[in-house]
Amino acid sequence: MKTLLCVVVSFLVVGLATHPIIAQTASATWSGQITYEGIHKIDPASLKFLDNNGELMKPGDPNWPKDIPDNRMSEQKVFINGTYAKVTGNNYQVMPTAGGKRPFTEQFFVDLKSLKKVTILTVGNDEDAKTYQAEVPLQRVSGWQLTDQTRKIAGYTCRKATVPYKKETYAVWITTELPITYSPIQELTPDTGTVLLIEGSKEQFKARKVAKTALDPSVLKPSVQAQTVAPEQLTELRQKAITDFLEKNRRVGQGG
């Protein structure tokens, strides 16, 4: 049986709002790639499934999946050159799919000079697709406490800091041996340094590899023609795209 899997819209929007931010330090220009592995705990209560007729299933229904994993794995790659960076991956967000298609796709870029994230949202598929662009400034949490604990991660010496985030205390391991300020979660970006490990009770990001290499700056900047919208409008467009996508595939499942 084919099922359509999605996360409650509010959860998806929260997940999409926590993409990484990078800040370029004034002392040097660094070019290369950082690869992170992520582990994200799944809350089954936040999941919804559609049956073949496009109807929402409930826990306990005969066709309710019995093999839902406890965690999802993800890989995030960050390509940095000078004043721009491109972030790929972030596939820990569960999104509805049907026939190999999704309600939208997104690209994420970081303007290191002005410290803002640029999101390119494409709604729909093929010739009906529409593309939008929104920019948001770096927003970081407060309450950082730097400790004396150190450890090596991906070949770099890191120092542990703790910070309140999502109603708990996160451990954030930071190195100052790279001339960039970066975190795979934007709210957990320190004032200075590169975050190579984030530890929370429901999620973790760890740098698997840091490689210094020359990259073409042109591929790290947004190149598509897109309609500029406010961040709030981008959120509304995501929600509408998911609603329309589910409704369309519900009609297909019902033979409409």
Residue 184 lies in a domain: yes
Residue 17 falls within a domain, yes or no? yes
Percent of the chain with pLDDT over 90: 43
Q: Does residue 234 fall inside a structural domain?
A: yes
Percent of residues in the chain assigned helix, strand, coil, to nearest 5:
15, 45, 40
Secondary structure of residue 214 in the 3-state scheme: coil
Residue 256 domain-assigned (yes or no)? no
Give the chain's domain count. Answer: 1
- For the cut 60, the answer to whether the pLDDT of residue 116 exceeds it is yes
Instruction: List, for residues 49-70, the tens digit of each pLDDT value.
Output: 666 666 677 767 777 777 777 7
pLDDT digits (tens, 9 = 90+) for 201-243: 999 999 999 999 988 888 888 877 899 999 999 999 998 998 8
DSSP-derived letter for residue 26 is S
In which band, very low, low, confident or very high, does the pLDDT at 161 lie, cut at 50, 70 and 90?
very high
The confidence score (pLDDT) of residue 47 equals 64
pLDDT computed for residue 9 by the predictor: 32
- Asked if residue 187 belongs to a domain, the reply is yes
- pLDDT of 227 reads 93
pLDDT (average), residues 166-187:
93
Predicted confidence (pLDDT) per residue in 21-55, tens digit: 445 444 457 899 999 999 988 776 666 666 666 66
pLDDT reading at 170 higher than 90: yes
Under the banding of pLDDT at 50, 70 and 90, the label for residue 90 is low
Whole-number average pLDDT of the chain: 80
Residue 198 domain flag: yes
Nearest partner of 108 among 206, 3, 222, judged by Cα: 222
Instruction: Output the pLDDT for position 103.
Output: 86
- Structural domain including 191 reads 4-251
Tell me whether residue 181 is in a domain: yes
Q: What is the mean pLDDT of residues 143-148?
A: 97
Does residue 83 sit within a domain?
yes
